[in-house]
């Protein structure tokens, strides 16, 4: 960890706790800042705030009072989930007080080379692949951080120049950076998402593009060449662009040619040896190969991982087979594109479990991918909209249940040997569950109860 004095003796407000807020507050306290923490959860129900209080940090809980801005804060470190239209945040910006997220702190103190991954879909799989490939090379010492696990500013405190920090980043985090500059950045893809937070797709895309905002000619940006719109979005980048594509040959990037995954024209591994299924995952593989080759990883390490890596939990995760039915947990499919990608990966008849938070969209775009779905089981706020899509696709067997747990035994009753039972909700989980992970775990538990 770098010993920096950027925040020494500065009055800083940490807005919102959860893991990122706790880490940011503790770190800033160590760096000599005068820290105040503000969280909406009352102190008596807030063990995280109680712990910070014991560290000697000022804590204000129960609401986000705008009057806090009168205390002369020089910086606000915001929890990524708090929107910018929050009165305290918008008020700070009107007063010219900088608002950042904790990933900026991580960058400031990290001694390690940073590889940062963002995108609408595939970022967790890509992040995990890069970490696993680096881990398979005896000369590398990777650390994994961000949305995928431990908070980046916590991991960075223990990172040395001998490490490589592999960080998964959301648009929520990237909108709040100032100087953050990864040596290698990846944008897996950009599709319409999180409009309830960003307002428009354009604003969402601009937030994602922040990943390369501070890069220089000495850095690398790995980007999905299949998306021309994305290539135009990052045209301002000063980094060396490394494109990847599943459909075109790229001498200057990563692609599939003559059956081999190639990087800068060099054959790395036969595509047929990769065990991770689906074309969308092939894109993730290409991005991961490009990143790790840029970092000097051996082809042997890449081959070792790609011939054994079967996926990440909650992302088209094979759960088990019962009486010839295969169960898959794809709870991370929180949008239509992700669910479509999962459905494209199966040739067998599918019993689809779908539904969740209503963000105002319909599911017309999902209809073309439902042709292999023999039964649809819906739940959550979007149950009715999902059923309309099912009817438009000609699905005859459509059932509505209260939740994911109830959906599993119904799906089993409707299935036959050889069928796939797939949880791929195409919606966020927050109408019924705190996270997609919890939703996926409930699905897994319900499957095991069938045995």
Cα-based torsion angle of the residue sequence 198, 202, 208, 213 in order, rounded to the nearest 10 degrees: -120
Band of pLDDT at residue 357, cut at 50, 70 and 90: very high
Q: Does the pLDDT at position 374 exceed 80?
A: yes
Instruction: Give the pLDDT confidence score for residue 45 in this predicted structure.
Output: 93
The mean pLDDT value for 65-76 works out to 96
More confident: 165 or 19: 165
Band of pLDDT at residue 132, cut at 50, 70 and 90: very high
Band of pLDDT at residue 191, cut at 50, 70 and 90: confident
Domains and CATH numbers, the chain: 11-100 (3.40.50.720), 103-306 (3.40.1190.10), 317-448 (3.90.190.20)
The mean pLDDT value for 315-335 works out to 92
Rounded-to-integer distance, Cα 241 and Cα 434, Å? 38
- Tens digit of each residue's pLDDT (9 = 90 or more) over 147-162: 777 899 999 999 999 9
- CA–CA distances in Å: residue 413 to residues 139, 399, 407, 409, 441: 51, 12, 10, 6, 21
Rounded-to-integer distance, Cα 255 and Cα 263, Å? 7
Band of pLDDT at residue 168, cut at 50, 70 and 90: very high
């Amino acid at each position: 960890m770098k010993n920096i004095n950027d925040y020494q003796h500065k009055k800083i407000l940490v807005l919102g706790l959860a893991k990122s807020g706790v880490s940011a507050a503790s770190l800033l306290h160590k760096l000599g800042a005068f820290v105040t923490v503000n969280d909406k959860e009352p102190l008596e129900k807030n063990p995280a705030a109680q712990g910070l209080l014991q560290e000697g940090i000022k804590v204000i809980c129960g609401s986000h009072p705008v009057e806090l801005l009168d205390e002369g804060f020089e910086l606000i470190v915001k929890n990524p989930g708090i929107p910018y239209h929050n009165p305290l945040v918008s008020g700070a910006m009107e007063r010219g007080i900088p608002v950042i997220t904790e990933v900026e702190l991580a960058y400031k103190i990290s001694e390690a080379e940073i590889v940062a991954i963002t995108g609408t879909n595939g970022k967790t799989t890509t992040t995990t692949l890069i970490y696993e490939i680096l881990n398979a090379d005896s000369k590398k010492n990777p650390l994994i951080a961000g949305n995928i696990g431990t908070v980046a500013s916590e991991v960075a405190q223990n990172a040395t120049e001998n490490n490589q920090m592999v960080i998964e980043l959301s648009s929520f985090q990237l909108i709040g950076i100032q100087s953050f500059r990864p040596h290698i950045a990846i944008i897996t893809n950009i599709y319409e998402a999180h409009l309830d937070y960003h307002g428009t797709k354009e604003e969402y895309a601009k937030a994602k593009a922040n990943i390369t905002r501070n890069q220089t000619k000495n850095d690398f940006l790995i980007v999905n060449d299949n998306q021309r719109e994305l290539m135009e979005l990052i045209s301002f980048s000063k980094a060396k662009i490394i494109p990847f594509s599943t459909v075109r040959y790229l001498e200057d990037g990563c692609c599939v040619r003559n059956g081999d995954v190639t990087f800068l024209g060099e054959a790395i591994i036969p595509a047929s040896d990769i065990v991770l299924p689906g074309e969308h995952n092939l894109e993730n593989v290409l991005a991961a190969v490009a990143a790790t080759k840029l970092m000097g990883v051996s082809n042997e390490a890449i081959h070792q991982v790609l011939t054994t890596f079967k996926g990440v939990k909650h992302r088209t995760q094979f759960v088990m087979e019962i009486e010839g039915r295969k169960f898959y947990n794809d709870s991370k499919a929180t949008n239509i594109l992700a669910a479509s990608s999962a459905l494209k990966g199966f040739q067998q008849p599918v019993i689809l479990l779908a539904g969740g938070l209503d963000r105002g969209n319909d599911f017309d775009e999902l209809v073309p991918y439902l042709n292999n779905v023999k039964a649809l089981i819906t739940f959550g706020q979007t149950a009715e909209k999902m059923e309309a899509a099912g009817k438009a696709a000609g699905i005859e067997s459509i059932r509505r249940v209260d939740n994911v747990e109830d959906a599993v035994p119904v799906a089993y009753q409707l299935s036959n040997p050889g069928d796939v039972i797939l949880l791929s909700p195409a919606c966020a989980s927050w109408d019924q569950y705190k996270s997609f992970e919890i939703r996926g775990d409930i699905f897994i538990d319900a499957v095991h109860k069938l045995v």
